[in-house]
Chain A
Amino acid sequence: MIELNFEHRQAGHCESGVTSNLLNYHKLSISEPILFGIGAGLFFSYLPFLKMQHAPLTSFRVWPGMVFDRATKALGIKTKIHRFRNPADSMNKLDEVLAQGFPVGLQVGTFHLPFFPPEYRMHYNMHNMVVYGKKDNIYLISDTVIENKVEISYDDLMRVRFAKGTFAPRGRMYYPYLVPSAVDLKPAIIKGMRKTANNMVEVPFPLIGTKGIRFLARQMRKWPQKLGDEKASYYLGQVLRMEEEIGTAGAGFRFIYGAFLDEAGTILKQDWIRELAVEMGEAANHWRKFSYYGSRNCKKRAKPEESYDMLADMLMECADMEEKVFLKLAKIR
Protein backbone atom coordinates (compact mmCIF):
# COMPACT_ATOMS: atom_id res chain seq x y z
CA MET A 1 0.00 0.00 0.00
CA ILE A 2 1.26 3.43 -0.99
CA GLU A 3 -0.32 6.76 -0.23
CA LEU A 4 1.75 9.83 -1.04
CA ASN A 5 1.07 13.05 0.79
CA PHE A 6 -0.47 14.75 -2.24
CA GLU A 7 -2.53 17.91 -1.99
CA HIS A 8 -5.64 17.84 -4.18
CA ARG A 9 -6.51 21.21 -5.68
CA GLN A 10 -9.13 21.88 -8.32
CA ALA A 11 -8.13 23.73 -11.46
CA GLY A 12 -9.63 25.39 -14.50
CA HIS A 13 -7.64 23.40 -17.04
CA CYS A 14 -6.74 19.81 -16.31
CA GLU A 15 -3.21 19.67 -17.67
CA SER A 16 -1.87 22.92 -16.20
CA GLY A 17 -3.66 22.07 -12.94
CA VAL A 18 -2.02 18.65 -12.87
CA THR A 19 1.37 20.22 -13.61
CA SER A 20 0.91 22.77 -10.82
CA ASN A 21 -0.16 20.09 -8.34
CA LEU A 22 2.71 17.77 -9.26
CA LEU A 23 5.26 20.57 -8.77
CA ASN A 24 3.56 21.52 -5.52
CA TYR A 25 4.23 17.99 -4.27
CA HIS A 26 7.92 18.65 -4.98
CA LYS A 27 7.71 21.86 -2.91
CA LEU A 28 7.73 24.19 -5.91
CA SER A 29 4.69 26.41 -5.78
CA ILE A 30 3.68 27.88 -9.15
CA SER A 31 0.10 28.86 -9.90
CA GLU A 32 -1.99 27.19 -12.55
CA PRO A 33 -2.30 30.30 -14.76
CA ILE A 34 1.46 30.88 -14.76
CA LEU A 35 2.10 27.30 -15.88
CA PHE A 36 -0.65 27.58 -18.49
CA GLY A 37 1.08 30.73 -19.82
CA ILE A 38 4.61 29.34 -19.72
CA GLY A 39 3.38 26.20 -21.43
CA ALA A 40 1.74 28.42 -24.08
CA GLY A 41 -1.54 26.57 -23.56
CA LEU A 42 -3.78 29.10 -25.26
CA PHE A 43 -4.54 28.46 -28.89
CA PHE A 44 -7.21 28.49 -31.51
CA SER A 45 -7.69 26.14 -34.41
CA TYR A 46 -10.65 25.28 -36.56
CA LEU A 47 -10.10 22.10 -38.58
CA PRO A 48 -13.24 21.36 -40.60
CA PHE A 49 -11.64 18.35 -42.30
CA LEU A 50 -11.27 16.60 -38.93
CA LYS A 51 -14.56 15.49 -37.43
CA MET A 52 -15.19 14.84 -33.78
CA GLN A 53 -18.60 13.44 -32.78
CA HIS A 54 -19.86 14.22 -36.31
CA ALA A 55 -18.87 17.90 -36.29
CA PRO A 56 -15.75 19.90 -37.27
CA LEU A 57 -12.97 20.01 -34.73
CA THR A 58 -12.51 23.35 -33.01
CA SER A 59 -9.85 23.71 -30.37
CA PHE A 60 -9.16 26.53 -27.95
CA ARG A 61 -5.92 25.15 -26.53
CA VAL A 62 -2.81 23.35 -27.64
CA TRP A 63 -2.55 19.61 -28.05
CA PRO A 64 -2.47 17.40 -24.97
CA GLY A 65 0.92 17.07 -23.33
CA MET A 66 2.36 20.30 -24.64
CA VAL A 67 1.71 22.43 -21.56
CA PHE A 68 3.50 20.00 -19.25
CA ASP A 69 6.39 19.47 -21.69
CA ARG A 70 6.99 23.11 -22.50
CA ALA A 71 6.53 24.42 -18.98
CA THR A 72 8.84 21.91 -17.30
CA LYS A 73 11.46 22.28 -20.02
CA ALA A 74 11.42 26.08 -19.77
CA LEU A 75 11.84 25.88 -15.99
CA GLY A 76 14.67 23.35 -16.05
CA ILE A 77 12.67 20.64 -14.32
CA LYS A 78 13.70 17.07 -15.06
CA THR A 79 10.80 14.87 -16.14
CA LYS A 80 10.09 11.43 -17.50
CA ILE A 81 7.42 10.74 -20.08
CA HIS A 82 6.38 7.25 -21.15
CA ARG A 83 4.00 5.81 -23.70
CA PHE A 84 3.24 2.13 -24.08
CA ARG A 85 2.11 -0.47 -26.55
CA ASN A 86 1.21 -3.00 -23.94
CA PRO A 87 -1.40 -2.06 -21.28
CA ALA A 88 0.01 -4.42 -18.63
CA ASP A 89 3.48 -2.85 -19.03
CA SER A 90 2.01 0.58 -18.49
CA MET A 91 0.47 -0.50 -15.19
CA ASN A 92 3.69 -2.15 -14.00
CA LYS A 93 5.64 0.99 -14.77
CA LEU A 94 3.05 3.07 -12.90
CA ASP A 95 3.40 0.86 -9.81
CA GLU A 96 7.18 1.08 -10.02
CA VAL A 97 7.20 4.88 -10.14
CA LEU A 98 4.66 5.16 -7.33
CA ALA A 99 6.86 2.88 -5.22
CA GLN A 100 9.75 5.28 -5.81
CA GLY A 101 7.61 7.98 -4.21
CA PHE A 102 6.58 10.03 -7.24
CA PRO A 103 2.98 10.98 -7.99
CA VAL A 104 2.28 10.45 -11.68
CA GLY A 105 0.29 12.41 -14.25
CA LEU A 106 -1.78 10.37 -16.70
CA GLN A 107 -3.52 11.23 -19.94
CA VAL A 108 -6.84 9.37 -20.08
CA GLY A 109 -10.07 9.09 -22.04
CA THR A 110 -13.21 10.21 -20.22
CA PHE A 111 -15.77 7.85 -21.76
CA HIS A 112 -15.12 5.02 -19.31
CA LEU A 113 -14.00 7.13 -16.36
CA PRO A 114 -16.27 5.86 -13.55
CA PHE A 115 -15.96 8.80 -11.16
CA PHE A 116 -16.68 11.39 -13.85
CA PRO A 117 -20.06 13.13 -13.87
CA PRO A 118 -22.19 11.16 -16.38
CA GLU A 119 -22.88 14.23 -18.52
CA TYR A 120 -19.15 14.52 -19.30
CA ARG A 121 -18.64 10.91 -20.37
CA MET A 122 -18.05 11.52 -24.04
CA HIS A 123 -15.10 10.17 -26.03
CA TYR A 124 -12.69 12.85 -25.00
CA ASN A 125 -9.09 11.67 -24.80
CA MET A 126 -7.30 14.79 -23.67
CA HIS A 127 -8.09 14.59 -19.98
CA ASN A 128 -5.35 14.54 -17.35
CA MET A 129 -5.27 13.40 -13.74
CA VAL A 130 -2.80 12.35 -11.05
CA VAL A 131 -2.28 8.96 -9.42
CA TYR A 132 -0.86 9.45 -5.94
CA GLY A 133 -1.25 6.04 -4.35
CA LYS A 134 -2.46 2.47 -4.46
CA LYS A 135 -4.39 0.29 -2.01
CA ASP A 136 -4.58 -3.35 -3.08
CA ASN A 137 -6.05 -3.08 -6.56
CA ILE A 138 -7.45 0.42 -6.15
CA TYR A 139 -5.58 3.49 -7.32
CA LEU A 140 -5.89 6.83 -5.54
CA ILE A 141 -6.64 9.70 -7.89
CA SER A 142 -6.56 13.46 -7.76
CA ASP A 143 -8.60 14.85 -10.66
CA THR A 144 -8.66 18.65 -10.93
CA VAL A 145 -12.24 18.61 -12.28
CA ILE A 146 -13.64 16.70 -9.30
CA GLU A 147 -14.26 18.32 -5.93
CA ASN A 148 -12.61 15.62 -3.82
CA LYS A 149 -10.01 12.90 -4.18
CA VAL A 150 -11.36 9.76 -5.87
CA GLU A 151 -10.44 6.12 -6.53
CA ILE A 152 -10.38 3.83 -9.53
CA SER A 153 -9.89 0.07 -9.96
CA TYR A 154 -6.93 -1.46 -11.78
CA ASP A 155 -9.08 -2.61 -14.71
CA ASP A 156 -10.89 0.68 -15.10
CA LEU A 157 -7.63 2.62 -14.96
CA MET A 158 -6.03 0.42 -17.59
CA ARG A 159 -9.08 0.90 -19.78
CA VAL A 160 -9.10 4.71 -19.65
CA ARG A 161 -5.34 4.85 -20.22
CA PHE A 162 -5.86 2.92 -23.44
CA ALA A 163 -8.94 4.72 -24.70
CA LYS A 164 -9.12 4.75 -28.51
CA GLY A 165 -9.96 7.44 -31.03
CA THR A 166 -8.64 10.95 -31.71
CA PHE A 167 -5.63 11.77 -29.51
CA ALA A 168 -5.57 8.26 -28.03
CA PRO A 169 -3.45 8.48 -24.85
CA ARG A 170 -1.62 5.18 -25.43
CA GLY A 171 -0.94 4.90 -21.70
CA ARG A 172 0.87 8.22 -21.57
CA MET A 173 2.31 8.89 -18.12
CA TYR A 174 4.54 11.73 -17.01
CA TYR A 175 6.13 12.98 -13.82
CA PRO A 176 8.80 15.38 -12.61
CA TYR A 177 11.59 13.65 -10.67
CA LEU A 178 14.13 16.42 -10.12
CA VAL A 179 12.67 19.78 -9.20
CA PRO A 180 14.83 22.75 -8.20
CA SER A 181 13.76 24.47 -4.99
CA ALA A 182 13.56 27.83 -6.74
CA VAL A 183 13.28 28.76 -10.40
CA ASP A 184 13.55 31.98 -12.35
CA LEU A 185 10.11 32.46 -13.84
CA LYS A 186 10.92 35.55 -15.91
CA PRO A 187 12.67 34.07 -18.98
CA ALA A 188 10.17 31.19 -19.05
CA ILE A 189 7.23 33.59 -18.93
CA ILE A 190 8.63 35.71 -21.77
CA LYS A 191 9.30 32.64 -23.88
CA GLY A 192 5.77 31.36 -23.29
CA MET A 193 4.25 34.71 -24.20
CA ARG A 194 6.18 34.88 -27.46
CA LYS A 195 5.15 31.37 -28.37
CA THR A 196 1.47 32.10 -27.79
CA ALA A 197 1.63 35.46 -29.59
CA ASN A 198 3.30 33.72 -32.50
CA ASN A 199 0.66 30.98 -32.58
CA MET A 200 -2.18 33.46 -32.42
CA VAL A 201 -1.16 36.17 -34.87
CA GLU A 202 1.99 35.25 -36.79
CA VAL A 203 1.46 31.82 -38.29
CA PRO A 204 0.67 32.22 -41.99
CA PHE A 205 -2.05 29.61 -42.09
CA PRO A 206 -5.75 30.53 -42.30
CA LEU A 207 -7.16 27.97 -39.87
CA ILE A 208 -5.28 28.81 -36.71
CA GLY A 209 -4.95 31.78 -34.40
CA THR A 210 -7.04 34.88 -34.91
CA LYS A 211 -7.19 34.08 -38.64
CA GLY A 212 -8.82 30.80 -37.69
CA ILE A 213 -11.41 32.56 -35.55
CA ARG A 214 -12.32 34.77 -38.53
CA PHE A 215 -12.42 31.75 -40.83
CA LEU A 216 -14.84 30.05 -38.46
CA ALA A 217 -16.97 33.21 -38.32
CA ARG A 218 -17.23 33.31 -42.12
CA GLN A 219 -18.18 29.63 -42.23
CA MET A 220 -20.72 30.06 -39.46
CA ARG A 221 -22.66 32.66 -41.46
CA LYS A 222 -23.24 30.06 -44.15
CA TRP A 223 -24.17 27.16 -41.85
CA PRO A 224 -27.97 27.63 -41.76
CA GLN A 225 -28.25 27.75 -45.57
CA LYS A 226 -25.64 25.11 -46.19
CA LEU A 227 -26.50 22.57 -43.49
CA GLY A 228 -30.09 23.25 -42.51
CA ASP A 229 -31.16 24.44 -39.07
CA GLU A 230 -30.71 21.22 -37.16
CA LYS A 231 -27.17 20.45 -38.28
CA ALA A 232 -26.13 24.10 -38.05
CA SER A 233 -27.32 24.13 -34.47
CA TYR A 234 -25.38 20.94 -33.73
CA TYR A 235 -22.21 22.37 -35.32
CA LEU A 236 -22.60 25.51 -33.25
CA GLY A 237 -23.16 23.39 -30.14
CA GLN A 238 -19.93 21.53 -30.84
CA VAL A 239 -17.96 24.79 -31.08
CA LEU A 240 -19.46 25.84 -27.76
CA ARG A 241 -18.76 22.49 -26.12
CA MET A 242 -15.11 22.83 -27.06
CA GLU A 243 -15.08 26.42 -25.93
CA GLU A 244 -16.48 25.36 -22.59
CA GLU A 245 -14.53 22.21 -22.34
CA ILE A 246 -14.47 21.60 -18.65
CA GLY A 247 -14.26 24.46 -16.21
CA THR A 248 -13.32 27.21 -18.63
CA ALA A 249 -16.46 29.15 -17.74
CA GLY A 250 -17.40 29.69 -21.34
CA ALA A 251 -14.37 31.43 -22.72
CA GLY A 252 -12.11 28.76 -24.13
CA PHE A 253 -9.35 29.26 -21.54
CA ARG A 254 -9.24 33.03 -22.17
CA PHE A 255 -9.91 33.74 -18.50
CA ILE A 256 -6.99 31.59 -17.38
CA TYR A 257 -4.74 33.26 -19.91
CA GLY A 258 -5.84 36.68 -18.69
CA ALA A 259 -5.10 35.64 -15.11
CA PHE A 260 -1.67 34.57 -16.35
CA LEU A 261 -1.01 38.01 -17.90
CA ASP A 262 -2.14 39.63 -14.68
CA GLU A 263 0.22 37.59 -12.49
CA ALA A 264 3.01 37.77 -15.06
CA GLY A 265 2.82 41.57 -15.22
CA THR A 266 3.46 41.66 -11.48
CA ILE A 267 6.33 39.16 -11.67
CA LEU A 268 7.99 40.96 -14.59
CA LYS A 269 7.23 44.37 -13.06
CA GLN A 270 5.82 45.55 -16.38
CA ASP A 271 2.57 47.45 -16.04
CA TRP A 272 1.66 47.31 -19.71
CA ILE A 273 1.24 43.55 -19.39
CA ARG A 274 -1.25 44.02 -16.59
CA GLU A 275 -3.10 46.38 -18.91
CA LEU A 276 -3.11 43.64 -21.53
CA ALA A 277 -4.59 41.36 -18.87
CA VAL A 278 -7.56 43.72 -18.67
CA GLU A 279 -7.96 43.66 -22.46
CA MET A 280 -7.73 39.88 -22.39
CA GLY A 281 -10.39 39.76 -19.69
CA GLU A 282 -12.68 41.88 -21.84
CA ALA A 283 -12.07 39.55 -24.80
CA ALA A 284 -12.83 36.59 -22.52
CA ASN A 285 -16.08 38.19 -21.41
CA HIS A 286 -16.97 38.71 -25.06
CA TRP A 287 -16.32 35.02 -25.75
CA ARG A 288 -18.54 34.19 -22.86
CA LYS A 289 -21.27 36.40 -24.27
CA PHE A 290 -20.89 34.60 -27.59
CA SER A 291 -21.26 31.32 -25.76
CA TYR A 292 -24.35 32.56 -23.93
CA TYR A 293 -26.15 33.73 -27.08
CA GLY A 294 -24.96 30.64 -28.89
CA SER A 295 -26.51 28.38 -26.27
CA ARG A 296 -29.79 30.30 -26.53
CA ASN A 297 -29.65 29.67 -30.23
CA CYS A 298 -29.09 25.95 -29.62
CA LYS A 299 -32.05 25.96 -27.26
CA LYS A 300 -34.15 27.64 -29.97
CA ARG A 301 -34.79 30.54 -27.64
CA ALA A 302 -32.91 33.04 -29.75
CA LYS A 303 -34.63 36.17 -30.91
CA PRO A 304 -34.37 36.80 -34.67
CA GLU A 305 -31.56 39.31 -34.20
CA GLU A 306 -29.54 36.64 -32.32
CA SER A 307 -28.96 34.72 -35.52
CA TYR A 308 -25.85 33.08 -36.89
CA ASP A 309 -24.97 36.42 -38.47
CA MET A 310 -24.92 38.06 -35.09
CA LEU A 311 -22.85 35.23 -33.62
CA ALA A 312 -20.42 35.49 -36.51
CA ASP A 313 -20.12 39.24 -35.90
CA MET A 314 -19.35 38.53 -32.25
CA LEU A 315 -16.65 36.04 -33.27
CA MET A 316 -15.13 38.68 -35.54
CA GLU A 317 -15.05 41.05 -32.58
CA CYS A 318 -13.41 38.39 -30.41
CA ALA A 319 -10.78 37.94 -33.10
CA ASP A 320 -10.16 41.70 -33.28
CA MET A 321 -9.83 42.00 -29.51
CA GLU A 322 -7.43 39.08 -29.27
CA GLU A 323 -5.42 40.26 -32.23
CA LYS A 324 -4.82 43.58 -30.49
CA VAL A 325 -3.62 41.81 -27.35
CA PHE A 326 -1.28 39.44 -29.13
CA LEU A 327 0.18 41.97 -31.55
CA LYS A 328 1.26 43.96 -28.51
CA LEU A 329 2.38 40.88 -26.61
CA ALA A 330 4.52 39.77 -29.57
CA LYS A 331 6.78 42.73 -28.89
CA ILE A 332 7.89 41.45 -25.48
CA ARG A 333 11.61 40.80 -25.16
Chain B
Amino acid sequence: MTEEQDELIYRNNRELHYSFDPEKGYTRKVDYQYPGNQVIIQQGWDVVESRIRDVSARIKEGKLSPLAFYMEKNQMELPMLSDYTGFMRWRIKRHLKPGVFSRLKPATLTKYASVFDVGVNELLNPPLT
Protein backbone atom coordinates (compact mmCIF):
# COMPACT_ATOMS: atom_id res chain seq x y z
CA MET B 1 0.00 0.00 0.00
CA THR B 2 1.34 3.43 -0.83
CA GLU B 3 -0.18 6.18 1.21
CA GLU B 4 -0.34 9.61 -0.35
CA GLN B 5 1.81 12.00 1.61
CA ASP B 6 -0.66 14.75 2.39
CA GLU B 7 0.08 17.97 4.20
CA LEU B 8 -0.28 17.52 7.97
CA ILE B 9 -3.18 19.46 9.46
CA TYR B 10 -2.23 19.14 13.13
CA ARG B 11 1.28 19.46 14.50
CA ASN B 12 0.59 20.00 18.18
CA ASN B 13 1.93 16.83 19.69
CA ARG B 14 3.85 13.69 18.81
CA GLU B 15 2.64 10.32 19.96
CA LEU B 16 3.98 6.81 20.23
CA HIS B 17 2.89 4.51 17.41
CA TYR B 18 3.33 0.79 17.04
CA SER B 19 3.64 -0.73 13.61
CA PHE B 20 4.36 -4.05 11.98
CA ASP B 21 6.47 -4.91 8.99
CA PRO B 22 6.82 -8.54 7.80
CA GLU B 23 10.58 -8.07 7.51
CA LYS B 24 11.35 -5.91 10.51
CA GLY B 25 8.70 -7.21 12.89
CA TYR B 26 7.17 -4.87 15.47
CA THR B 27 8.57 -1.39 15.85
CA ARG B 28 7.67 1.75 17.78
CA LYS B 29 8.17 5.33 16.81
CA VAL B 30 7.17 8.76 18.05
CA ASP B 31 5.59 10.97 15.42
CA TYR B 32 2.63 13.15 14.50
CA GLN B 33 -0.62 11.42 13.67
CA TYR B 34 -0.37 10.10 10.15
CA PRO B 35 -2.30 12.08 7.50
CA GLY B 36 -5.22 9.67 7.08
CA ASN B 37 -6.03 9.94 10.75
CA GLN B 38 -5.76 13.73 10.69
CA VAL B 39 -8.34 13.81 7.90
CA ILE B 40 -10.95 12.00 9.95
CA ILE B 41 -10.23 14.07 13.06
CA GLN B 42 -10.83 17.14 10.93
CA GLN B 43 -14.02 15.62 9.54
CA GLY B 44 -15.33 15.34 13.10
CA TRP B 45 -14.67 19.04 13.69
CA ASP B 46 -16.14 20.02 10.31
CA VAL B 47 -19.38 18.34 11.34
CA VAL B 48 -19.35 20.29 14.61
CA GLU B 49 -18.84 23.53 12.65
CA SER B 50 -21.66 22.79 10.25
CA ARG B 51 -24.02 22.00 13.13
CA ILE B 52 -23.08 25.33 14.70
CA ARG B 53 -23.88 27.09 11.41
CA ASP B 54 -27.28 25.38 11.15
CA VAL B 55 -28.20 26.27 14.69
CA SER B 56 -26.97 29.86 14.24
CA ALA B 57 -29.32 30.27 11.29
CA ARG B 58 -32.26 29.02 13.33
CA ILE B 59 -31.39 31.37 16.19
CA LYS B 60 -31.33 34.29 13.77
CA GLU B 61 -34.78 33.23 12.53
CA GLY B 62 -35.97 33.40 16.14
CA LYS B 63 -36.73 29.68 16.32
CA LEU B 64 -34.15 28.74 18.95
CA SER B 65 -32.56 30.44 21.93
CA PRO B 66 -28.79 31.15 22.26
CA LEU B 67 -28.60 28.09 24.51
CA ALA B 68 -28.78 25.93 21.36
CA PHE B 69 -25.63 27.62 20.04
CA TYR B 70 -23.61 26.80 23.15
CA MET B 71 -24.89 23.25 23.25
CA GLU B 72 -23.53 22.66 19.75
CA LYS B 73 -20.37 24.63 20.45
CA ASN B 74 -19.67 22.44 23.48
CA GLN B 75 -20.99 19.30 21.78
CA MET B 76 -23.39 18.71 24.63
CA GLU B 77 -26.70 17.03 24.08
CA LEU B 78 -29.60 17.19 26.53
CA PRO B 79 -28.55 14.33 28.84
CA MET B 80 -25.01 15.62 29.20
CA LEU B 81 -26.03 19.23 29.74
CA SER B 82 -28.55 18.01 32.28
CA ASP B 83 -25.73 16.21 34.14
CA TYR B 84 -23.48 19.27 34.08
CA THR B 85 -26.13 21.78 35.18
CA GLY B 86 -28.30 19.61 37.39
CA PHE B 87 -31.37 20.89 35.49
CA MET B 88 -34.02 18.42 34.39
CA ARG B 89 -34.02 17.64 30.66
CA TRP B 90 -37.51 19.00 30.08
CA ARG B 91 -36.47 22.28 31.66
CA ILE B 92 -33.48 22.61 29.36
CA LYS B 93 -35.74 21.79 26.44
CA ARG B 94 -38.00 24.67 27.43
CA HIS B 95 -35.01 26.98 27.70
CA LEU B 96 -34.33 26.32 24.01
CA LYS B 97 -37.40 28.46 23.22
CA PRO B 98 -36.31 32.09 22.73
CA GLY B 99 -39.35 33.42 24.66
CA VAL B 100 -38.65 31.27 27.71
CA PHE B 101 -34.89 31.84 27.58
CA SER B 102 -35.23 35.64 27.58
CA ARG B 103 -37.14 35.51 30.88
CA LEU B 104 -34.66 33.24 32.74
CA LYS B 105 -33.48 34.23 36.22
CA PRO B 106 -29.88 35.44 36.61
CA ALA B 107 -28.99 32.39 38.72
CA THR B 108 -30.05 30.02 35.92
CA LEU B 109 -28.11 32.02 33.36
CA THR B 110 -25.01 32.05 35.57
CA LYS B 111 -25.19 28.27 35.85
CA TYR B 112 -25.30 27.86 32.08
CA ALA B 113 -22.54 30.44 31.62
CA SER B 114 -20.21 28.62 34.02
CA VAL B 115 -20.78 25.26 32.34
CA PHE B 116 -19.99 26.79 28.96
CA ASP B 117 -17.01 28.80 30.29
CA VAL B 118 -18.41 32.16 29.14
CA GLY B 119 -19.77 35.32 30.77
CA VAL B 120 -23.53 35.84 31.06
CA ASN B 121 -23.31 38.61 28.49
CA GLU B 122 -21.66 36.30 25.99
CA LEU B 123 -24.25 33.64 26.77
CA LEU B 124 -27.03 36.04 25.81
CA ASN B 125 -25.21 37.28 22.69
CA PRO B 126 -23.43 34.28 21.14
CA PRO B 127 -20.98 34.85 18.28
CA LEU B 128 -23.29 33.35 15.66
CA THR B 129 -21.74 32.13 12.46
Q: Please report A residues at the B interface, Cβ cutoff 8 Å.
A: 10-12, 33, 53-54, 111, 117-120, 122-123, 144-147, 164-165, 168, 233-234, 237-238, 240-241, 244, 246-250, 255-256, 258-259, 262, 277-278, 280-282, 284-285, 289, 291-292, 294-296, 298-299
Contacts and interface: CB of A to CB of B under 8 A. Distances in A.
B3 to A, nearest CB: 6
B121 interface: no
Given A164-B80, A298-B43, A281 B26 contact: yes
B99 interface: no
Nearest to B76: A123
Interface in B44-71: 44-45, 47
Nearest to A115: B13
A228 to B, nearest CB: 14
Contact of A145 (B15, B39, B83): B15
A242 to B, nearest CB: 10
B40 A241 contact: yes
A295 B34 CA distance: 11
Contacts of B43: 233-234, 237, 298-299
A124 B43 CA distance: 17
Given A147-B14, A281-B26, A291 B20 contact: no
A292 B5 CA distance: 12
A281 B9 CA distance: 28
A256 B39 contact: no
A244 B83 contact: no
A284 B20 CA distance: 8
A119 B36 contact: no
A250 B80 contact: no
A258 B20 contact: yes
Interface in B1-50: 1, 3, 9-10, 12-22, 25-26, 28, 30, 33-34, 36-45, 47
B79 to A, nearest CB: 8
A298 B26 contact: no
Contact of B37 (A53, A117, A233, A250): A250
Question: Is the contact region of chain A dominated by helix, strand, or loop, or is it mixed?
Answer: helix
A259 B36 contact: no
Contacts of A281: 20-22, 25-26
Contact of A244 (B30, B37, B45): B37
A244 B26 CA distance: 18
Nearest to A283: B20
Interface of B: 1, 3, 9-10, 12-22, 25-26, 28, 30, 33-34, 36-45, 47, 74-76, 79-80, 83-84
B116 to A, nearest CB: 11
Contact residues of B: prevailing secondary structure: mixed
A250 B41 CA distance: 12
B10 A255 contact: no
A147 B13 contact: yes
B13 A249 contact: no
Contacts of A244: 33, 37, 40-41
B13 A146 contact: yes
B41 A255 contact: no
A244 B44 CA distance: 13
A260 to B, nearest CB: 9
A295 B37 contact: yes
Contacts of B75: 53, 111, 122-123
Contacts of A259: 18, 20, 26
A119 B12 contact: yes
Contacts of A33: 18
Most buried by A among B15, B16, B40, B84: B40
Contacts of B47: 54, 234, 237
Q: Taking each of B10, B20, B42, which has the highest tally of chain A beta carbons within 10 Å of its own beta carbon?
A: B20
Contacts of A250: 34, 36-37
6 smallest CB-CB distances across A and B, nearest first, come from: A281-B20, A164-B83, A255-B18, A117-B12, A249-B17, A295-B36
Given A164-B80, A237-B40, A11 B20 contact: no
Contact of B18 (A122, A246, A256, A282): A256
B45 A249 contact: no
Contacts of A10: 15-16, 30
Contacts of A278: 22
